[in-house]
Structure 1
Amino acid sequence: MTAPLDVPESAATAPSDEMLAGADRKAIEGRSLGQIAWRRLRRDKVAIAGACVIIFLILVAVFAPLIVKWFGHDPLEYHEDLTDSRSMAPKAAFGGISLDFLFGVEPQNGRDIFSRVVYGARVSLLIAFLATLLSVVIGTLLGVIAGYFGGWVDTLIGRAMDVFLAFPLLVFAIALAGVVPDQAFGLTGDTLRVALLIFIIGFFNWPYLGRIIRGQTLSLREREFVDAARSLGARGPYIIFRELLPNLIAPILIYSTLLIPSNILFEAALSFLGVGVRPPTPTWGGMLADAARYYTIPHFMVFPGLAIFVTVLAFNLFGDGLRDALDPRGKR
Structure 2
Amino acid sequence: MSTPLELEPGSTSAEPESVLRGEKQIEGRSLGQIAWMRLKRDKVALGGGFFVLFLILMALCAPLIVGLLGHPPDEFHQELVDANLQIPTAPFGGMSWDFLFGVEPVNGRDIFSRIIYGSQISLLIAFLATLLSVVIGTILGVVAGYFGGLVDTIISRSMDIFLAFPLLVFAIALVGVVPDEAFGLKGDSLRIAVIIFIIGFFNWPYIGRIIRGQTLSLREREFVDAARSLGARTPYILLKELLPNLIAPILVYATLLIPTNILFEAGLSFLGVGVQAPRATWGGMLSDAAQWYQIDPWFMVWPGLAIFVTVLAFNLFGDGLRDALDPRSR
Question: What residue in structure 1 maps to residue 83 of structure 2?
Answer: 85
1:10 alignment partner in structure 2:
none
Cα distance in 2 between the residues matched to 1:317 and 1:248: 21
Matches within 5 A, 1:63-142: 63-142=61-140
Q: Which runs of 4+ in 1 moved over 4 A?
A: 18-22
Gaps (5+ residues) in structure 2?
1-16
Percent of aligned pairs with the same amino acid: 75
State the 1:232 CA deviation: 1.2
1:137-286 alignment, distance < 5 Å: 137-286=135-284
The match for 2:6 is none
User: Counterpart of 1:311?
Assistant: 310
Amino acid in structure 2 at the alignment position of 1:91: T
1:313–1:19 Cα change, 3 Å: closer
Scaled by the length of structure 2, what TM-score is found? 0.93
Is 1:324 the counterpart of 2:323 in the alignment?
Answer: yes
CA distance in 2, matches of 1:85, 1:293: 17
* Residue identity in the other structure for 2:301: V
CA RMSD of aligned residues (A): 1.2
> What secondary structure does 2:290 align onto?
helix
Q: Which amino acid aligns with 1:226?
A: V
Aligned length in residues: 313
Which amino acid in structure 1 is aligned with residue 248 of structure 2? A
| CA shift digits 1:248-292 (9 cap, x unpaired) | 000000100000000000000000011111100000000000000
Distance 2:206 2:35 in 1: 25
CA displacement at 1:84 relative to structure 2: 1.2
SS of equivalent residue, structure 2 residue 74: coil
1:29 Cα shift?
1.1
2: CA distance between counterparts of 1:19 and 1:328? 32
Secondary structure of 1:276's counterpart equals coil
- 2:9 is aligned to none
Give the TM-score taking structure 1 as reference length: 0.93
Would you say the 8 A contact 2:18–2:24 is kept in 1? no
1:11 corresponds in structure 2 to none
Greater Cα shift, 232-241 or 60-69: 232-241
Unaligned stretches of 5+ residues in structure 1? 1-17
Letter in 2 for 1:211: R
Q: Report which of the two structures shows the higher radius of gyration computed on alpha carbons.
A: 1
Q: Which amino acid aligns with 1:122?
A: Q
| Residues 18, 25 of structure 2: 8 Å contact kept | no
